[in-house]
Amino acid sequence: MTAPAKFVGRSVPRLEDRPLLLGQGRFAADISFPGQWHMRVVRSPVAHGKLQGINAAAALTLPGVHAVWTRDNVAHIPPIPFRLTGLVELEPYRQPILANDYVRYVGEPVAVVFAADPYIAEDAAELVELNIETLAPVMHASGDTGPFDAERATEPSIIRKSYGDVDAAFNAAHAIVTLELSIGRHSGVPLETRGAIARYDEARDILEMHGAAKVPWWNRDHIAKMIGRSRTNMHLLEGHVGGGFGIRGEIYPEDVLVCAAALHFKKPVKWIEDRREHLIAANHSRQQQHNIRAAIDAAGHILAIDDKFYHDNGAYMRTHAATVPDLAAAMLPGPYRVPAYRVAGHIRLTNKTPCGTYRAPGRYESSFVRERVLDAIAAKVGIDGVEIRRRNLIAKSAMPYDLHLETLGTHIVYDSGDYALLLDKTLERAGWPALQASLKKRRAAGEMVGAGVAMFVEKSGLGPSDTVRVEIKNDGKVEVVTGVASIGQGVETAMAQIAADALGVDYATINVVHGQTDRIDQGAGAFASRVTVMCGEATRLASVKLRGKVLRLAAELMQTDAAALDIINGEIVRRDNTGPSMTLTELAQARPGDLSAEDTFLSSHMVYPYGVHVAAVKIDSDTGGVAIERYVIGYDIGKAVNPRLVESQIAGGLAQGLGGALLEEFVYDDNGEPLSVTFADYLMPTSREVPQMSILITEDAPSPLNPMGLKGAGEGGANPVGAVIAAAIDDALQRPGTIAELPVTPQRLKSILKKTGLR
Q: Which has the closest alpha carbon to 731: 435, 532, 470?
A: 435
Q: Are residues 426 and 562 in the same domain?
A: no
> Pairing state of beta strands 478-482 and 510-513?
parallel
User: Among 284-288, 348-352, 473-477, 645-649, which stretch is predicted with the lowest mean pLDDT?
Assistant: 473-477
| Same-domain status, 493 and 566 | yes
CATH of the domain at 529: 3.30.365.10
Do 493 and 421 share a structural domain? no
pLDDT of residue 579: 83
Alpha carbon of 73 to those of 1, 115, 534, 716: distances in Å? 70, 17, 41, 45
- Which residue among 602, 621, 639 closes a domain? 602
Q: What value does the mean pLDDT take over residues 537-549? A: 98
One domain, residues 548 and 623: no
> Residues 218, 102: one domain?
yes
DSSP conformational letter for 28: G
Q: Is 580 exposed, middle or buried (0-12, 13-18, 19+ CB in 10 A)?
A: exposed
515 and 658 fall within a common domain: no
Distance (Å, whole) CA 530 – CA 244 = 14
Q: Is 421 helix (H, G, I), strand (E, B) or coil?
A: helix
Q: How confident is the model at residue 400 (pLDDT cuts 50, 70, 90)?
A: very high
Q: State the chain's mean pLDDT as an integer.
A: 97
How many domains are there within the chain? 3
For residue 5, pLDDT over 80 is answered with no
One domain for residues 473 and 450: no
Percent of the chain with pLDDT over 90: 98
> How far apart are the C-alpha atoms of 223 and 202, rounded to whole Å?
18
**Tens digits of per-residue pLDDT, 163-207?**
999 999 999 999 999 999 999 999 999 999 999 999 999 999 999
Q: How far is it, in rounded angstroms, from Cα 207 to Cα 203?
A: 11
Domain edge (last residue) among 244, 275, 306? 275
Of 755, 751, 748, 756, the closest CA to residue 661 belongs to: 748
pLDDT at 757: 84
In a domain, 184, yes or no: no
pLDDT for the residue numbered 552: 97
Kind plus residue range of the DSSP H or E element containing 613: strand 610-619
pLDDT tens track for 119-177: 999 999 999 999 999 999 999 999 899 999 999 999 999 999 999 999 999 999 999 99
What is the average per-residue pLDDT within 659-666?
98
Distance CA(498)–CA(504), nearest Å, equals: 10
Q: What is the pLDDT of residues 228-281, one digit of tens each?
A: 999 999 999 999 999 999 999 999 999 999 999 999 999 999 999 999 999 999
How many Å apart are CA 122 and CA 54, to the nearest integer? 17
pLDDT value, residue 435: 98
pLDDT per position as a tens digit, 32-58: 999 999 999 999 999 999 999 999 999
Determine the length of the chain.
Answer: 759
pLDDT of residue 151: 93
On whether both 440 and 479 belong to a single domain, the answer is no
Element (H, E) at 502: helix 491-503
Same domain as 620, residue 585? no
Q: Is residue 3 part of a domain?
A: no
Structural domain includes residue 437: yes
For residue 297, being part of any structural domain is answered with no
| pLDDT at res. 756 | 87
The pLDDT of residue 758 is 80
Q: Among 602, 622, 643, which residue terminates a domain?
A: 602
Query: Is 212 domain-assigned?
Result: yes
pLDDT at 578: 86
CATH number of the domain encompassing residue 208:
3.90.1170.50
Nearest to 360 by CA among 120, 669, 717: 717
Cβ–Cβ < 8 Å for 172, 347 = no
Q: Where are the beta strands (DSSP E) in 99-169?
A: 102-103, 109-115, 129-134, 157-163
pTM beyond 0.85: yes
476 assigned to some structural domain? yes
Distance between CA 173 and CA 302 in Å, rounded?
A: 9
Residue 379 lies in a domain: no
Nearest CA to 67 out of 120, 130, 28 is that of 120
d(CA 79, CA 348): 19
Is there a single domain that holds both residue 596 and residue 615?
no
Domain range for 646 is 411-458+609-759
CA distances from 524 to 389, 462, 605 (A): 37, 10, 15
pLDDT digits (tens, 9 = 90+) for 466-506: 999 999 999 999 999 999 999 999 999 999 999 999 999 99
Contact (CB, 8 A) for 215 and 386? no
Residues 220 and 85 in one domain: yes
Q: Where are the beta strands (DSSP E) in 391-430?
A: 401-407, 410-414
* Helix H or strand E encompassing 169: helix 166-171
The one-letter amino acid at 234: M
- CA separation (Å) from 97 to 47, 253, 372, 498, 756? 17, 4, 40, 41, 49
Q: Which helix (H) or strand (E) holds 573?
A: strand 571-574
Q: How far is CA 473 from CA 142, 480, 500, 698, in A?
A: 60, 11, 15, 37
Do 451 and 470 lie in one domain? The reply is no
Instruction: Confirm whether 288 is domain-assigned.
Output: no
Within 13 A of 639's CA, how many CA atoms are on the CB side? 19
> How does strand 37-43 pair with strand 269-272?
parallel
Between the alpha carbon of residue 142 and those of residues 136, 150, 291, the distances in Å are 16, 21, 11
